[in-house]
Amino acid sequence: MDNKITFPELIELLAKATNTSKRMSELFLKELFATISQSLIEGESVTVKNLGTFSLEQVKSRKSVSVNTGQEVQIPSHNKVVFTPDKVLADAVNQPFAQFEPVILDDEVTLDQLAAIDAAGSDSIGAMDSIDSGCAMGADEESPVSAEPLVTPPPFVEPQTPVQPEVPVEPSEPSEPSESSETSESLEPTEDDGIDILDIEREKREIARKSFVRGLAIGLVSMLAVALIAVAVWFFCMRGQKHKIVEGRQPVEGVENVQVPAVDSTATQPAEDNTPVVTDTCTATLYLTRMARKHYGDKAFWVYIYEENKDKIDDPNNVAPGTVLVIPPREKYGIDPDDKQSVKTAKEKAYKLFKQFSHGK
């Protein structure tokens, strides 16, 4: 972040990406910008495909005041270059935020509330996070759901729907009593490696959005979802008496979010012999990079999650919420967040993928 890629670095990157010599790529870059500059000096605008347009704009002569002497000076008319990024570049750069759309705010949502979330991000995200980690690597959290609704701290967060009063036979031994594990879960602070600004914003928007979805509509939807999950659980438990249900893949109750319901139930799957397969479910706020950071400690390793699930993912930039992904074990691809080489290989892979998909657009 905020690094400056210098010219020699750029030459090296370009040579590597195209398998040409450094000399050639240096020559190319110099000629490229000499040509663009020349064209601009001649007063012609230049369009570079997938990058943008450099155009000239005439700035009119105007009066100003010299900072040093306080005297009036006349700034002569001159040209300035206006760069308009191409849509391809603009989209690629904005990719982390591409999923967001402007939201009309309710009257009840005040700026103070939004600011409060910024300040004490970790608290209010608790509810969100319980979904995330719930459908994620839950070896110890497969407790059945308590019948009473959770009380979430912030008033404007959607109250969680009471779920599955008729919890059926519990197949594997629950590690803890349900209620305590459930509450501790929701109070748990967010990510181990701290919340960066990006995350906070994501949560904030999530909460802002949720405040609208409230009401009759969500009531109906969540009731439907509850019924669905209950049926799914019942169905799996019937099967579970023959097979064993994988530990930690219990359906999670978090029906508070419209995109999440019914997804969790699909996460339940029959056991695969000895090693439990770790899976994770994509949501609007949990996608490849964030998943990789959660499971491996570095987001660069998302490429391996993608490779493992190639058949389910059309475009790694745009994974549909609700997709259940298999998280490959670390050994399989030599994943080690502390090993620079390993991170580097992953990044190179990511770059190749990135090129592949940005060309496809």
Q: Which residues ranging from 101 to 120 are in contact with another protein (CB under 8 A)?
A: 101-105, 111, 114
Select from 79-87, 215-223, 275-283, 335-343 the region that touches another protein (CB under 8 A).
Answer: 79-87
DSSP 43-87: T--EEETTTEEEEEEEEPPEEEE-TTT--EEEEPPEEEEEEEE-H
CB 74 to another protein: min, Å: 14
10 vs 147 by CB, closer to another protein: 10
43 vs 70 by CB, closer to another protein: 43
CB 136 to another protein: min, Å: 25
* Token reading at 199: 């995350």
Total residues contacting another protein (rule CB under 8 A)?
71
48 vs 147 by CB, closer to another protein: 48
CB 261 to another protein: min, Å: 24
Residue 232 and residue 238: Cα distance in Å, rounded?
A: 10
Q: Is 195 in the site for another protein (CB under 8 A)?
A: no
By CB under 8 A, name the one of 21, 23, 27, 235 that touches another protein.
Answer: 27
Select from 18-26, 125-133, 171-179, 213-221 the region that touches another protein (CB under 8 A).
Answer: 18-26
Segment 29 to 68, residues that bind another protein, using CB under 8 A: 29, 31-33, 35-37, 39-41, 44-52, 54, 56
Residue 168 and residue 237: Cα distance in Å, rounded?
A: 7
CB 192 to another protein: min, Å: 22
Q: What angle do CA 57, 59, 63 make, to 5 degrees?
A: 170
Bridge partners, 80 (sequence order) = 57
Q: Is 223 in the site for another protein (CB under 8 A)?
A: no
CB 249 to another protein: min, Å: 33
Q: Is 78 in the site for another protein (CB under 8 A)?
A: yes
Q: Is 80 in the site for another protein (CB under 8 A)?
A: yes
By CB under 8 A, name the one of 208, 218, 260, 313 that touches another protein.
Answer: 208
CB 47 to another protein: min, Å: 5
Residue 230 and residue 224: Cα distance in Å, rounded?
A: 10
Q: For residue 278, give the 3-state DSSP assignment.
A: coil
Q: For residue 275, give the 3-state DSSP assignment.
A: coil
Q: What angle do CA 297, 303, 305 make, to 5 degrees?
A: 75
Residues in the chain, how many?
Answer: 361
List all residues 6 or more positions away from 108 whose beta carbon is below 8 Å from its beta carbon. 156, 211
Question: Could you tell me if 29 and 42 are in contact, meaning their C-beta atoms sit under 8 angstroms apart?
Answer: no
344 vs 355 by CB, closer to another protein: 355
- Helices 178-187 and 126-134 sit at what angle, rounded to 10 degrees? 120
Q: Is 21 in the site for another protein (CB under 8 A)?
A: no
76 vs 215 by CB, closer to another protein: 76
Q: Is 5 in the site for another protein (CB under 8 A)?
A: yes
* Token reading at 156: 């404007």
CB 55 to another protein: min, Å: 11
Q: Is 351 in the site for another protein (CB under 8 A)?
A: yes
User: Dihedral sign, CA of 176, 177, 180, 182?
Assistant: positive
80 vs 242 by CB, closer to another protein: 80
Residue 149 and residue 222: Cα distance in Å, rounded?
A: 13
Select from 223-231, 270-278, 302-310, 352-360 the region that touches another protein (CB under 8 A).
Answer: 352-360
Question: Could you tell me if 103 and 137 are in contact, meaning their C-beta atoms sit under 8 angstroms apart?
Answer: no
